[in-house]
Structure formats: C-alpha cells, structure tokens
Amino acid sequence: MSGITTPRRALPRALPWRGLPALPNPRAVARFVPWLLPLALLALWQAGCSQGWIAEDTFPAPGAVIAAAWRLTLNGELPANLAVSFRRAVAGLLVGGSLAFVLGLFNGLSGVSERLTDTTVQMIRNIPNLALIPLVILWFGIEEEARLILSALGVFFPIYVNTFHGVRNVDAQLIEMGRSYGMTRRTMFRRIVLPGALPSIFVGLRYALGVMWLTLIVSETIAASSGIGYMAMQARESMQVDVVVLAILIYAALGKLADTAVRLVERRTLAWNPAYRRDGT
C-alpha cells in the first residue's frame, strides 16, 4: 500500500571473532623485517658449523663466539676494552665533527672563506686517512693523541663536505622570502639556512660514523694497550679466532647502534619535513 512503510529489521552487528590469535601490529612487523636477513645468515652460519661445512678453527660457530663474549665479560676484559674504544670514538667525533661543522658553515655562507680554505681541504681530503698513519706516529707518537687525530680526520671530511653542500643548496626562494619579510642574517640562518641544510648534515654524520669505526680499528692495532682493536690483535697472536670474530661483530653492532641513534635524532629534528615523517607503518 502506498504511504505505508514497513519497519526495517536492524541488521545484526558483526560479532568479533573470538578464540583466534590477534593480528600482529604492522609497525612491529615493519621493524622486524630489516633483521630477517641478518638472522637468516646467523642461522646458516650455525647450521654450516654444525654440519661440518665450516671449519671451526677458521670460523667458529655463533655459540663459541657467544661463549667467548661471556668469558671476557666475566673477567672484565670486554667491558674495559669496550669503554676505551667508545671513549676514543666519541672524542674523535666531537673534535673532528665540530671543526668540520664550523668550517662547512663558514665556507657555505662566505665566498671569501671558501676561496681561502676549500681548495686546501679538498686536496687533503683526497689523501687516504690510513696513509697518514706513519706521519701521525712521527708527529704525535703512539699515545692517545695519535689515535685521536686519526679518528678526528676520519669524521672531518664527510661532515665538512655535506655541511658545505647543505648550506649551498638551501632553496633560494626561501632566502628571498626571508629577505622580503625583513629577517636579519642571524634570524635567516636560524630559521631558513640551518633547517634547510640539516638533511645533508645528517647524511654526512651517518657516513662519518662508519669511517670513524674503520679508522678506530686501525688505530687501535698500532701499539695500543687497550680497546677492541687491541683485544682482536692479542687474540690473533694467540690464535683465538672466536675472540677475533667477536671483535668484528662488536664493531658491526656499535656501527649499527650509532647509525640508529643518528636516524632517531634526525627523524625527531626534521619532523617538520614530510620526507622524514612516519607513514604509520
């Protein structure tokens, strides 16, 4: 009949499934994915040693490396050497990174400063750091000063080049806009130039951290009496292959931790940049 409508039945709401496992958090899964390949390689390594495909006298099993780490931790050797290497790395990063950052800013902001110093810096940059070891030893001896100089040189050039590049590649339209708003040079540097150069600066810092550990390994094998590199050299002399492999894995872990820390600071500092915002996965 026209004009008369029959009441609709309320559709039953879908009841949640019960008794089934909850789906994993996508963000947790995304964080676990980068570790799949290292874990797979670790499993293959253990399987190869267990099956006899890998000779343990040349490449010990992960269990043997873990046992060596536990033994050196109990006698205090590993924590002491780790603390010394960490202190050397931080000192080299602070000295070399600070000088590189300041010089990169000066040369990026001032054409006069660039003409005076950039050519010299680029010439020195093309000299391999490890080739300077004999000269550094002659100048500074075999004490901590030599290792500090080598570590500082290792981090100097990546940070300098990327700082200089970042300052010089700030959007010119933003600078013109700042001038049109009457910003002073200090305000323009703080609000436009430095934020615009930060992505490149962080890239240089991440690259410098890798070079820093490489330089530190070599410097700690030269007449050192402590440090992870010293521990590896002593283990090599006594044919303790498990300790040598442990030292290599420690350097890899330290490099990964340093890179992760820089990326975390980078993400927080550059939260205003759409390229550094999390997409929720």
Domain that holds residue 196: 59-271
Of 134, 131, 159, the C-alpha closest to 146 is 134
Whether 129 is in a domain gets the answer: yes
pLDDT tens across 34-57, in order?
778 878 888 887 787 777 787 777
Residue 268, pLDDT score: 87
Contact 219, 229 (CB under 8 A): yes
Whether 182 is in a domain gets the answer: yes
- Specify whether the backbone of 10 is left (phi greater than 0), alpha (psi in -120 to 50) or beta: beta
Of 150, 155, 165, the C-alpha closest to 100 is 155
> Mean pLDDT across the stretch 160-188?
86
Whether 122 is in a domain gets the answer: yes
CATH number for position 232: 1.10.3720.10
For helices 111-125 and 144-168, give the axis angle rounded to 10 degrees. 130
Residues in the chain: 281
Calpha distance 78→80 (Å, rounded): 5
Whether 30 is in a domain gets the answer: no
Calpha distance 227→212 (Å, rounded): 14
Q: State the total domains in the chain.
A: 1
H-type alpha helices, 14-143:
26-32, 36-50, 62-74, 77-109, 111-125, 133-140
Whether 15 is in a domain gets the answer: no
Contact 60, 48 (CB under 8 A): no
pLDDT tens across 240-269, in order?
888 888 988 888 888 888 888 888 888 888
Residue 156, pLDDT score: 92
- Among 37-41, 56-60, 122-126, 211-215, where is mean pLDDT lowest? 56-60
Whether 19 is in a domain gets the answer: no
pLDDT tens across 124-171, in order?
888 887 777 788 878 877 777 888 888 888 899 999 999 999 998 888
Calpha distance 193→173 (Å, rounded): 12
Whether 113 is in a domain gets the answer: yes
> Mean pLDDT across the stretch 222-242?
82
Calpha distance 202→178 (Å, rounded): 24
The distance between the two most distant Cα atoms of the chain, rounded to a whole number of Å, is 108
Q: Is the pLDDT of residue 21 over 70?
A: no
Greater pLDDT, 24 or 262: 262
Percent share of the chain, pLDDT over 90:
13
Q: Is the pLDDT of residue 213 over 80?
A: yes
Whether 134 is in a domain gets the answer: yes
Q: Is the pLDDT of residue 279 over 70?
A: no
> Mean pLDDT across the stretch 21-33?
65
Query: 3-class SS at 226?
Result: coil
Residue 97, pLDDT score: 92
Residue 229, pLDDT score: 83
CA angle 16, 17, 19 (to 5 degrees): 135
Calpha distance 112→245 (Å, rounded): 50
Greater pLDDT, 116 or 238: 116
Q: Is the pLDDT of residue 1 over 50?
A: no
Could you tell me the pLDDT band of residue 225, with boundaries at 50, 70 and 90? confident
Distances (CA, A) of 223 to 209, 231, 232: 23, 12, 13
